[in-house]
Structure 1
Amino acid sequence: MALCRSHHAASQSYGTQVDIRHTAPEAPDREKFASLMLRIGIIGSGFGSYGLMPAFRTVKGCTVTALCGSKREQMMRYFKTIGFTNLYADWKMMLEHEKLDAIAIAVTPDAQYEIAKAAIAKGIHVFAEKPLAATLSQAKELVSLAKKKKITHGIDFLFPEIAEWKTVKEMLQKRTLGKLLHLSVQWDFLSYDIKHKHSSWKTASKEGGGALAFYFSHGLHYLEHFAGSIKKIKCLFTHSKESPNGAEIGADLLLSFKNGITGTAHVCCNSPGLTRHQLIFYCENGVIVLENGEGIVDGFTVVVHTADGTQTIRVKKDKDRKNEGERVKIVRKLAERFVDACGTKKQMTPSFHEGLRVQELIEMCHRSPLPAE
């Protein structure tokens, strides 16, 4: 049975379903206290359960009241350990029966579009996964609907939230090494789907998959985060029979920014034995190298090269919590911002607007291919 927020919290008092990190007042103020909590539903049994769920359930000011997804064995084991039982198999049923203030989504781009539309129509705030949608028109529609209904929206562009990335951003803003002239990206790894020959939307271009839309949607966002608005893109796509559904396994971009900065970017999700995520910032008086050699958000270093030598910049690391995946601590930062924005009825960044911008850049890449010869 679907429970209201206060009854649901009370029914779970014996477990650890929601770490609300508040001291609830004594009755008769308990009901008033509960009404201040943002009620969130999670949709998605993959990253929704092992990424969004642990991130949101430890954020002050919100409580995760329900999750919708297929009952995967790993997911069910996790929910058993935290005492969470309010599960749905149908997101429409969840939206109908739960009194939700917000939802966080981690599903396919097409499904996300449909779910977000339905939630927005009900006045429910939405935290989305990237890419925002499968097509540019879908992304535009979501932005328009969100504006019309005046809901708060966010999107999971997580890399700029990493401590080392924030350090580099600050150095560029302060022009520590002078003006940024050129930015180069090298991102190589072997994706799960290609390694295991797993057929899914992630290797189907028309469904929002492929090296560009699925993986480098992050890159298109952080390129503008560091260097400003992109003016022109030329793109060369690489294909391989190793991609189960034929989507590109690589993309190489030539970039020019409106402020005169130039850039190159390379991404490949079929690189057996080679894992690296490297950004090189060529400035007037030196070079900044931001990179890691394993993991997704962990292990980044910041190294500065100048005429006087090389220096590794010490950065206070983002801290993991026990039994959490490495991305959770970063998603939690965005989740906190989203919950705060919902509570103050303001907008957060990154939002659907950044998601739409990335969708525009994806279209630019497809409209401006470099010849393969």
Structure 2
Amino acid sequence: MSKWKLAVIGLGHMGKHMIHRLLPQFTDKIELVALCDNDEASLRREAEAAGGSAPALYTDYRLLLEEIPLDLVYIAVPPSLHYDVARIAFEKGIHVFCEKPLANSLAEAKRLLELAEQARVSHVIHFSLPLDPAVQKLQSLVQERAIGSIQRMELYLEFPQWPRAWQQNAWITSRHEGGYLLEVGIHWINMIQQVFGPITHVQSEVEFPADSKQCESTVKATMRLHHGVDIQVSGTDHREGEERVSLVVHGDEGTIALENWRHLFKGGKGEELQPVPAEAEESKLPILKQILRILDGEPGQVYDFYDGYNAQVVLEALRKPGEGFTDLRPLLQSK
């Protein structure tokens, strides 16, 4: 059986994670045939560390996509480059697995969605949070009305510093394509859309540093769901103590809290929150496993460029506030 031929473009944190942690789990299904990064020394170092058959090395993704026959490309470059890399891949009929956010603007995201549909190939965005066992358990508790009717929610995106210590690069703090709303908030936007339904209105207040090139410092916002439930968003890069990235869901009979990505708690009305086990018999993660199932013609669960676009609609409303609530319904796309 022949293997799927993959190229990884971009060797930052996520690109390295792909080649060193994820691909070794699927060596029977997929072959890394090419790597691309603009830092040639890093490119050669990471290729050597990856071992296995030597992939072709490129510092120009255009040349890679022109010269190397591919089935799938993993796009792990900064957001401002997503559009161009994906566009070329679609033109060549290559399946695309793209890091979040989908693009660097809503206009780019919409055009990528159009190109993806025209290409008739798989188009997947790297949203994994909804498939995490803790979120799957949260969703089942909500569906079972374990805390009754949902009344309100709070989303905390609070960091002692931005970027985090392990996340240093040239663009992560830029107002153009960085910031915690874009890097972290987008995951939670998509998860909320998958678990609770469309976010249809956004009201946002964003405080920026004096340096016009720097990303947001403080965010206070309200995201309103299609059935009228409000989600209060609190964001800061000056939190005292450890970071908190969490969603708290209040019902008329209790509360569920998903604390720091994957620690789930529940309590009845007036009761102290208690940990909730959230193990899965078989994890749906990593997303690459689902992609390979789909490429093999089997059922798989992924989030596509429709999901990426609809999350970007909310992201841009948060990052670029208007007067009062912005109605997102005219912009949201249905599959």
Scaled to the shorter chain, the TM-score interval is 0.7 to 0.9
Give the drift of 1:339: 1.9
Deviates more, 1:306-315 or 1:113-122: 306-315
Out of 58, 68, 74, the position equivalent to 1:104 is 74
CA distance in 2, matches of 1:308, 1:197: 39
Give the drift of 1:343: 2.8
Q: Superposition pairs for residues 170-249 of structure 1, below 5 Å?
A: 170-191=140-161, 193=163, 200-206=170-176, 208-241=177-210, 245-249=213-217
Equivalent position SS for 2:296: helix
Structure 1: state its 5+ residue gaps.
Answer: 1-32, 320-328
Q: Is residue 133 of structure 1 aligned with residue 103 of structure 2?
A: yes
1:175 to 1:226, Cα distance in 2 relative to 1, 3 A = same
The match for 2:247 is 279
1:196 to 1:143, Cα distance in 2 relative to 1, 3 A = closer
CA distance in 1, matches of 2:301, 2:122: 7
CA offset digits 1:236-261 (Å, max 9, x no partner): 112235x7832212322112211122
CA offset digits 1:206-263 (Å, max 9, x no partner): 3x2223223312222122223211121110112235x783221232211221112221
Q: Is residue 302 of structure 1 aligned with residue 255 of structure 2?
A: no
The match for 1:43 is 9
1:272 to 1:103, Cα distance in 2 relative to 1, 3 A = farther
1:318 to 1:94, Cα distance in 2 relative to 1, 3 A = farther
Retained in 2: the 8 A contact 1:163–1:318? Answer: no
CA offset digits 1:267-308 (Å, max 9, x no partner): 22343643112211111211011113xxxx5xx321111148
CA distance in 2, matches of 1:121, 1:347: 24
TM-score by length of 1: 0.76
Q: How many residues are treated as equivalent by the alignment?
A: 319
CA distance in 2, matches of 1:189, 1:135: 24
The match for 2:278 is 315
Identity %: 22
The match for 2:123 is 153
CA offset digits 1:318-337 (Å, max 9, x no partner): 99xxxxxxxxx98x521111
TM-score by length of 2: 0.84
CA distance in 2, matches of 1:108, 1:51: 15
CA distance in 1, matches of 2:279, 2:105: 39
CA distance in 1, matches of 2:43, 2:7: 16
The match for 2:332 is none
Select the structure of larger CA radius of gyration: 1
Deviates more, 1:361-370 or 1:182-191: 361-370
Q: Is residue 336 of structure 1 aligned with residue 289 of structure 2?
A: yes
CA distance in 1, matches of 2:152, 2:117: 36
1:118 to 1:191, Cα distance in 2 relative to 1, 3 A = farther
Equivalent position SS for 1:263: strand
Equivalent position SS for 2:5: strand
The match for 2:34 is 66
Give the drift of 1:157: 1.6
Structure 2: state its 5+ residue gaps.
Answer: 326-335
RMSD: 3.0
CA distance in 1, matches of 2:298, 2:271: 49
The match for 2:228 is 260
Give the drift of 1:166: 1.6
Out of 95, 117, 120, the position equivalent to 2:87 is 117
